[in-house]
């Protein structure tokens, strides 16, 4: 198996090199676009939350929140109350703030490796600034729709946590856990800023990488051949064929795919948008891997699949019950998928398969 993985990695690296070589100008243009996006949007919005999350954990503020949430989190998710901090930060700060907070708690000894990896399955989420400002006001022309998407996103994250929780799992008592020393505020601030700077550098690199890959794949014409991969998802969402390229781009880099969705998704705009925001794309997964260090990414991968499908299913349900919310440029009648029941059934089956597979793999470890 190890020899096979080594060969596969070598072949993948060689294929990427041969793919980029004839499209070097497209690769350079994509890297420049990614750098501009990182410097203009991602880093300014993420850096304050990186610093604040580090301060909250290092100064002990997150520990106090954990004491308040310990009964609820232990009973519902089988995790200590300190896990509420990364979940809250992930739902307010965006990708990958929650993941970094979970890693910080693990480094401090507040969470065990198993607890941190289970928490990573549902604490790494999009924040309200992106969903309300970019998706709602920017792409849909409606702040109200952005708020609706954010509420659905929160519900999907909490339900994903339930799907990833193992029965009979209870957290260890607080007295059996390592209590990190309380450091002076100046020391906490310096450490938080240093870690935030390293995380921002890693995120910038991955944004540039996937922006580059998107432009190279687009120049090579692979999106036209890869549209067949999205055919099942398009049918169940009731989306037109033109939505294939935005979904494929979004699976690589979430923001770029979301920007293209209004032009091709048609009546499936909101479910497709919820799916991409919940899954996050390969770029977000790589950014998460960069900030969590040596923690396993299995739970993150399965958790994001479950989150995306759950968010899409919840969006279909909301549109079926309340079909009136609509973007400023579209009528409400075209937002509801042609067959929401089929889409919801597909999402439920997929969630069940991903949950079973994720738990089975985890139990083998």
Residue with tokens 């925001």: 277
Backbone phi, psi, residue 180, to 5°: -65, 145
CA end-to-end distance (rounded Å), the chain: 16
Going from the C-alpha of 3 to that of each of 6, 8, 10, 12, 324, the distances in angstroms are: 5, 9, 11, 14, 56
Q: Is 156's pLDDT higher than 90?
A: yes
Spatial separation of the C-alpha atoms in residues 132 and 94, rounded to whole Å? 12
Q: Is 363's pLDDT higher than 50?
A: no
Q: Is 239's pLDDT higher than 80?
A: no
Q: Is 346's pLDDT higher than 90?
A: no
Burial class (CB in 10 A: 0-12, 13-18, 19+), 63: buried
Q: What share of the chain is helix, strand, coil (3-state, %, to 5)?
A: 80, 0, 20
Q: For residue 362, what pLDDT band results from cuts at 50, 70 and 90?
A: very low
Least confident of 135-149, 159-173, 202-216: 159-173
- Nearest of 59, 53, 114 to residue 87 by alpha carbon: 53
Is the distance from CB of 161 to CB of 121 less than 8 angstroms? yes
Q: Which DSSP state fits 238?
A: T
The pLDDT value recorded for residue 351 is: 57
Q: Is 358's pLDDT higher than 50?
A: no
Q: Looking at residues 190-203, what average pLDDT do you find?
A: 87
The pLDDT value recorded for residue 332 is: 39
Spatial separation of the C-alpha atoms in residues 135 and 122, rounded to whole Å? 21
The pLDDT value recorded for residue 157 is: 93
Across the chain, what does the average pLDDT equal? 79
The pLDDT value recorded for residue 72 is: 78
- Nearest of 177, 180, 171 to residue 70 by alpha carbon: 171
Q: For residue 285, what pLDDT band results from cuts at 50, 70 and 90?
A: very high
Spatial separation of the C-alpha atoms in residues 83 and 19, rounded to whole Å? 42
Least confident of 29-33, 218-222, 351-355: 351-355
Backbone phi, psi, residue 170, to 5°: -125, 145
Spatial separation of the C-alpha atoms in residues 145 and 134, rounded to whole Å? 11
Q: Which DSSP state fits 22?
A: G
């Amino acid at each position: 198996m190890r020899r096979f993985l080594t060969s596969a990695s070598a072949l993948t690296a060689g294929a990427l090199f041969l793919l980029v070589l004839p499209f070097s100008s497209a690769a350079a243009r994509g890297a420049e676009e990614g750098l501009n996006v990182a410097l203009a949007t991602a880093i300014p919005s993420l850096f304050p939350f990186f610093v604040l999350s580090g301060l909250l954990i290092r100064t002990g503020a997150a520990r106090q929140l954990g004491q308040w949430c310990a009964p609820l989190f232990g009973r519902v998710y089988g995790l200590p109350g300190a896990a509420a901090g990364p979940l809250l930060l992930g739902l307010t700060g965006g990708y990958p703030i929650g993941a970094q907070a979970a890693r910080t708690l693990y480094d401090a000894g507040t969470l065990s490796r198993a607890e941190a990896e289970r928490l990573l399955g549902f604490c790494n989420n999009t924040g309200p600034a992106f969903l309300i400002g970019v998706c709602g006001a920017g792409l849909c022309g409606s702040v109200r729709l952005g708020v609706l998407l954010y509420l659905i996103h929160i519900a999907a994250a909490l339900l994903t946590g339930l799907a990833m929780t193992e029965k009979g799992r209870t957290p260890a008592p607080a007295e059996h856990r390592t209590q990190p020393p309380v450091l002076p505020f100046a020391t906490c601030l310096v450490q938080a800023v240093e870690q935030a700077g390293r995380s921002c550098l890693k995120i910038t690199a991955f944004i540039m990488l996937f922006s580059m890959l998107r432009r190279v794949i687009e120049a090579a014409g692979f999106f036209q051949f890869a549209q067949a991969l999205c055919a099942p998802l398009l049918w169940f969402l009731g989306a037109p064929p033109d939505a294939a390229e935005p979904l494929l781009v979004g699976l690589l880099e979430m923001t770029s795919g979301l920007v293209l969705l209004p032009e091709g998704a048609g009546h499936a705009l909101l479910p497709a948008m919820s799916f991409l925001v919940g899954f996050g794309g390969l770029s977000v997964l790589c950014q998460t891997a960069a900030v969590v260090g040596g923690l396993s990414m299995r739970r993150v991968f399965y958790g994001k699949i479950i989150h995306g499908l759950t968010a899409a299913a919840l969006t279909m349900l909301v549109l079926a019950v309340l079909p009136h919310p609509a973007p400023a440029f579209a009528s409400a009648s075209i937002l509801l998928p042609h067959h929401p029941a089929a889409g919801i059934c597909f999402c439920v089956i997929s969630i069940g398969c991903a949950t079973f597979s994720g738990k089975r793999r985890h139990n083998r470890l």
